[in-house]
Amino acid sequence: MHKPCDVAVLVGSLRKESFNRKVANALAELAPPELKLEIVAIGLLPLYNQDLDTADPPAAWKSFRERVGRAEAVLFVTPEYNRGIPAPLKNAIDVGSRPYGHSVWNGKPGAVVSVSPGAIGGFGANHHLRQSLVFLNVPVMQQPEAYIGGADKLFDATNKLVNDGTRKFLQGFMQAFAAWISTNAK
C-alpha cells in the first residue's frame, strides 16, 4: 500500500470559528484515503519583506517554506474580503514564492475552495487566488469549481457538517482533486 499524498491546506481566515476552517476540516474528513490533509498555519507569518529574506530569514518563514515544500499538493480554502483574498493568505503565498527561483509552489497540483455566508460563495476571492496561482505555476483544478455559499447554515453546534447536499458535493470535489493530483503529480 502506498503512503497517502501529503496535501498542505491553507485557510485564508484566521477567525477561531471560521467557516473556512470548518469546511477545511470537513474536506479532510471527506477526502479519499489516498489523501492526507493537514492545515498549515499562516497567521503568525511576518509580512513579507525582501530585506529580511537573507541567509537567515525569520524562523516562521523557514518552517512554513519547509512544510509546504514537503507537500505533494496544496488546497486553498478562503473567504472573500472586498472581492479578493485576505491579507494573511496573500502574505503566505508571497513568503512561499521567495526567494526568487525557490518557490515552494512550483508545479504542485492545487485546488481552491471559497467559502462565505453570502450567496455567491466567495466567487471573487476564488478567481483572484487563481490568478496568482497561474503565475506561480500551480496547476489548479478547473472542475468542479467550489463556491460554498450559505456557510453559516452548514454546521451544527459541534462544527459538524449537517447539509447532505454540501457533504456530497465536497466528497465529489475531493475525489476529483485526488484524480487531479494523480494526473499532475511532479
Structure confidence by residue, pLDDT tens digits, 1-14: 578 999 999 999 99
**Which residues make Cβ contacts (< 8 Å) with residue 4, sequence separation at least 6?**
33, 34, 35, 36
**Which residues make Cβ contacts (< 8 Å) with residue 68, sequence separation at least 6?**
8, 40, 74, 96, 104, 105
pLDDT tens by residue, 57-114: 999 999 999 999 999 999 999 999 999 999 999 999 999 999 999 999 999 999 999 9
Domains and CATH numbers, the chain: 5-184 (3.40.50.360)
Neighbours of 171 (CB within 10 A): 16
Burial of 84 (0-12, 13-18, 19+ CB in 10 A): middle
> Do the strands 35-39 and 73-78 form a parallel or antiparallel pair, or are they unpaired?
unpaired
Query: Do residues 25 and 53 touch, judged by C-beta distance below 8 A?
Result: no
Q: Tell me 48's DSSP state.
A: P
| φ, ψ (nearest 5 deg) of residue 75 | -130, 125
How distant, in Å, are the alpha carbons of 21, 32, 108, 143 from that of 175? Answer: 20, 6, 17, 11
d(CA 182, CA 178): 6
pLDDT value, residue 1? 52
d(CA 64, CA 62): 5
- pTM of this prediction? 0.96
